[in-house]
Amino acid sequence: MKKETVRMAAAASALLLGSVATVNQALAQDPWSFSANIGAVSNYVWRGVTQTGDQAAVQGGIDVAHDSGFYAGTWISNIDWGTPDPNYELDLYTGFGGAITDDLSYDLGAIYYAYPDGRDSDFAELTLSGTYKWFTLGAAYTVYGENDGGLFDDGDWYFFGGAEVDLPYDFGFSVRGGYYSFRHDEGTYDVVVNNVIYTRTESYDYWNYGASITRDAGDFGTFSLNWDQNSGDQDLGYDPDPKFWVGWSKEF
């Protein structure tokens, strides 16, 4: 699949320098807090599509947050789109979140997906989400894209939702789903029928869905068993087969 259609970015995991723990202790009474995380996954999947060609990835990030609800951070991961470059993804994000009631909260954020060793790949999104108890609904809108006239250009929408619950013995269970609506959504491919070549046009838009079981292992971090899948058109390069992968992450 042409990797402009499957670029992915994501969530958490990160590299930390040992000094961060010391900083956290020193700022225990400060409104600012600092954290970092490191992780490894057997497959980096974002919005239902692999970013590493079904191979493993090492990921990490650093975050800062304020008692007011403001936060900012950065996150990095190796990637493999089946092309010489890019080889890694660097995300920069910021936002503001808060609680309206004990059961209802919101988050407004912005994220920039950078591929420093790639060309015409960077893009940026604004996101808005709300959480009620175990359920989350939200949307992300692409406000900038270097792939002019293609996928991940400005004007794309991603709608998402999910739910998560705590289980006994420090286990957790979550489900997720989403729909990608691209502004420039048409893709073409050729088919041969009776030695005649026909060009067909299909949509790049797709659904994705998945689930995770996690286990909090205390000082050893968090382990997860995950499933992800998408409904993309295989003739346009999507891989709709289910992806099963494992992950580990630890926050400092």
pLDDT at 9: 36
Residue type, 147: N
Q: What is the mean pLDDT of each run of 10 residues along the chain (252 residues)?
A: 38 33 48 97 98 98 97 98 94 97 97 94 98 97 94 96 97 98 78 58 93 96 98 93 98 94
Q: What per-residue confidence (pLDDT) applies to 2? A: 35
CATH number at residue 70: 2.40.160.40
Give 3-state DSSP helix, strand, coil % of the chain, rounded to 5.
5, 55, 35
Which residues on adjacent β-strands are paired with residue 89? 77
List C-alpha distances in Å: 21 to 17, 26, 121: 8, 9, 35
pLDDT at 194: 52
169 is in which domain, residue-wise?
A: 3-251
Note the pLDDT of residue 185: 81
Confidence (pLDDT) at 200: 64
The count of domains in the chain is: 1
Residue 119's pLDDT is what?
87
Query: What is the per-residue pLDDT for 202?
Result: 85
In terms of Cβ atoms closer than 10 Å to its own Cβ (0-12, 13-18, 19+), residue 149 is exposed
The predicted structure's pLDDT at residue 4:
41
